[in-house]
Structures are given as structure tokens and as C-alpha cells.
Structure 1
Amino acid sequence: MQTHLASVLLAPALLTVPVALAGPAVAQQRHNSRAPIDFGADHIELQDKANRAVLVGNVSVRQAEMTLNAARMTVAYTGQVIGGNPQVSQLDASGSVVVRRPDQTARSQYAIYDLNRRVITMLGGVSLTQGGNTVNGGRLTINMDTGRAVIDGSAVAGGGNNGAAAPNGTTRTNGRVTGTFSVPDRN
């Protein structure tokens, strides 16, 4: 049975993850969403009439302190050019997506970075790691202004099988959020 993207709108389990998942607090600085976006890929196709670019193969994007890696990415821009640069509005990434921020790594199968809202939404076999702490779920939303991360157990594309292995090796447990928090040594 094929699961549609609309199923991610259901949130049977929800976990708001503070910037420091557990242990010593590490403050995430506010992300500079106005910083230039540097990219690299094996292949790029510009589709100017559609106001987008398609990057394929070992895609790497960097903006300020954040990097985003994926197998494929579509870059949507508004058509407006300021200072000779097209204004990027959204990045859609797929295939082994990894988002790295200082002291934090998130992995999934799909991600959408809405630059106007300054929000990254990651879907499918999500894993968020900070230090020795890991949280797994179906969907992760990161507010780039506040650093707030919200994980829920929504299942997408092949998810929802109780205990089934996700493509990235994490275990999905039927719409639940799971994880491990490290505990400081208390001598």
C-alpha cells in the first residue's frame, strides 16, 4: 500500500526537542538565512522559465554555519533578481538528506527548506543527534530563527510498520517518537 505525503499531517506523537537535547546546554545561534547559499553537485540543470534549478548527484549546500547534503535538490526562486542574484525561496532535497548545524545533525529521506519562513521540514526516517543524544521520528521541523526542533511520529513512504527498518537504518515504531538521552555522570 502506498502512503501519500498527506499522511504526514497527522501527528499521533509529538516531541518538542530543546536546542540542547540533554546534558550540558549548548546554545544554537540564530541562523543567518540572508547569508549566500553556496552549492555544488555533479550535475545542474537550469530551468529559467520555471524559475528553478535541479541539482543531481552529491549535492552539497552551505549557508552560514549550516550544510545540507542530498542526492538530489530542486532550488526554486522567485524570478526576481536583486544585485544580479536570483532570489531563492525554497530548497527541496531528497535521497539520504543530512542537515548539519553546530553540534547537531539531522538525517531523513526528504527535506524542504522554506527560506521565506526560515523553517526546515524533514520527512521519512528522521534522526536528530546532538552529542550522545538521539531522537527518531517521522517528521522533524526546525525553526531556523529560534533553533526549536519538533519531532513527531508521522509515518511517510513505507513508514508505520511496527518495528520495520527505515532506509537509513533507524527503526520506526508505528507513529511513535523514540530515542536515547545521555545521562551525565553524577559521582
Structure 2
Amino acid sequence: MRTPFLAVALLAAPLAAQTAHNSNAPIDFGADHIELQDKANRGVLSGNVSVRQAEMTLNSARMTVSYTGQVVGGSPQVSRIDASGGVTVRRPDQTAKSQYAIYDLNRRVITMLGAVTLTQGGNTVNGGRLTINLDTGRAVVDGNSVRGSSGAAPGSTTTTAPSGRVTGTFSVPKRD
């Protein structure tokens, strides 16, 4: 029997009790290498990539930063960041890990795919896909993003159950 989507969304809600993220804040980055592809309106960052915006950081092995081509105040306007390879998103009191992530700055949504783990305090939720709405702070975790796939490379360890279910642990307050 599959867990109803609504129940999963409600269980994940305590993990996402955060204030809205300032997606208009500047984006600072660091990487071992950057390749600017001006005609394609993108930059490819690789090697220990770290991006910070307000109180949120995004780390991975590689990121492609897409921009609109418009320049405001001397800076190109970033519209999307695609990250791959050991992706970690950290927000105050919350950490999410996956294999891939897409940060859509226009929609203010981060989608993480492949062996996703969301941790806040003693609570942990594992699944195949995580969607974080940065305006509302709401996080929704569901099973495998690709039906019949664990979302992990063959031979690797995954935190997602093979059935495509969402799994996890919620901490319980100590009672006398």
C-alpha cells in the first residue's frame, strides 16, 4: 500500500518550518574553475563549488549558472542554477543532500533529485525528490523521481527504499 501524498506532505511540514528566503540577495560563489559561456548566457563552475545567498549555501562538485542576458547594475541576472555531484543545501537548522538539484530563482523553488535526505534537528526524511518553496519554507518529499529506479548509481548505497517510498525518523520529546 502506498503512503498518500498528502500524508507525506504533512509529515514533512515540521521539517520546513522556516521563514521566507531572500531570493533577491546577491549570490556569492567560489569554485576551483569557472568557464564563462557568454553566447549561451551561462557559467559552468567546477571543483568544490560553493554558492551562498543570504543564509542559504549550496555546495556541489559542479554547477551551471544560467542568466537572462540582462545586466542590472553591472551584473547579469541569474535565473537558474543546476548542481550535480554530492549536492548539499544548508539553511538555518536544516540540511538537504542529493545527487542533483535545480534552483529556479524566478519561481523561488529548489528541486533536489536522487537519494534525497532532509534533516532538521533529530528529524530525518529520505526520498527520491524534494521540493523546497523558498517563499513559504514548505518542503515536500516524495518517493523515487523515476519509477522503478532507486535514483542512485548501480552498486552505491542509497537512503531511498527500493519501493520508492518515503522513509524517515521523527524525534519524540522526552516525557516524564
Contact 1:13 1:154 in 2 (8 A): no
Q: 1:184 and 2:173 equivalent?
A: yes
Amino acid aligned to 1:91: I
3-state SS, counterpart of residue 174 of structure 1: coil
Amino acid aligned to 1:178: T
Contact 1:159 1:166 in 2 (8 A): no
- Residue matched to 2:21: 31
Q: 1:47 and 2:37 equivalent?
A: yes
Task: Say which structure is richer in helix.
Answer: 2
Contact 2:115 2:150 in 1 (8 A): no
Q: Give the 3 Å change call, closer, same or farther, for CA 168–90 of structure 1 in structure 2.
A: farther
3-state SS, counterpart of residue 159 of structure 1: coil
Residue 29 of structure 1: how far off its partner (Å): 1.6
Count residues in correspondence.
170
CA distance in 2, matches of 1:54, 1:143: 25
Residue 87 of structure 1: how far off its partner (Å): 0.2
- Quick one: percent identity of the two aligned structures? 74
- Residue matched to 1:153: 143
Q: Higher RCO, 1 or 2 (CA under 8 Å, sep at least 6)?
A: 1
Q: 1:173 and 2:162 equivalent?
A: yes
3-state SS, counterpart of residue 32 of structure 1: coil
Q: How well do the aligned residues superpose, as a CA RMSD in angstroms? A: 2.4
CA distance in 2, matches of 1:92, 1:61: 12
Could you report, residue by residue, the CA deviation over 1:85-141 in whole angstroms, capped at 9, with x for unpaired residues? 000000000000000000000000000000000000000000000001100000000
| TM-score calculated relative to the size of structure 1 | 0.84
Question: Of residues 114, 117, 136 in structure 1, which corresponds to 2:104?
Answer: 114
Residue 27 of structure 1: how far off its partner (Å): 4.4
Residue 178 of structure 1: how far off its partner (Å): 0.3
Residues 1-187 of structure 1: pairs in structure 2 closer than 5 A: 14=5, 15-16=8-9, 17-18=12-13, 20-21=14-15, 27-156=17-146, 159-160=149-150, 167=156, 169-187=158-176
Amino acid aligned to 1:109: Q
Contact 2:143 2:166 in 1 (8 A): yes
Could you report, residue by residue, the CA deviation over 1:32-60 in whole angstroms, capped at 9, with x for unpaired residues? 00000000000000000000000000000
Contact 1:60 1:69 in 2 (8 A): yes
3-state SS, counterpart of residue 144 of structure 2: coil
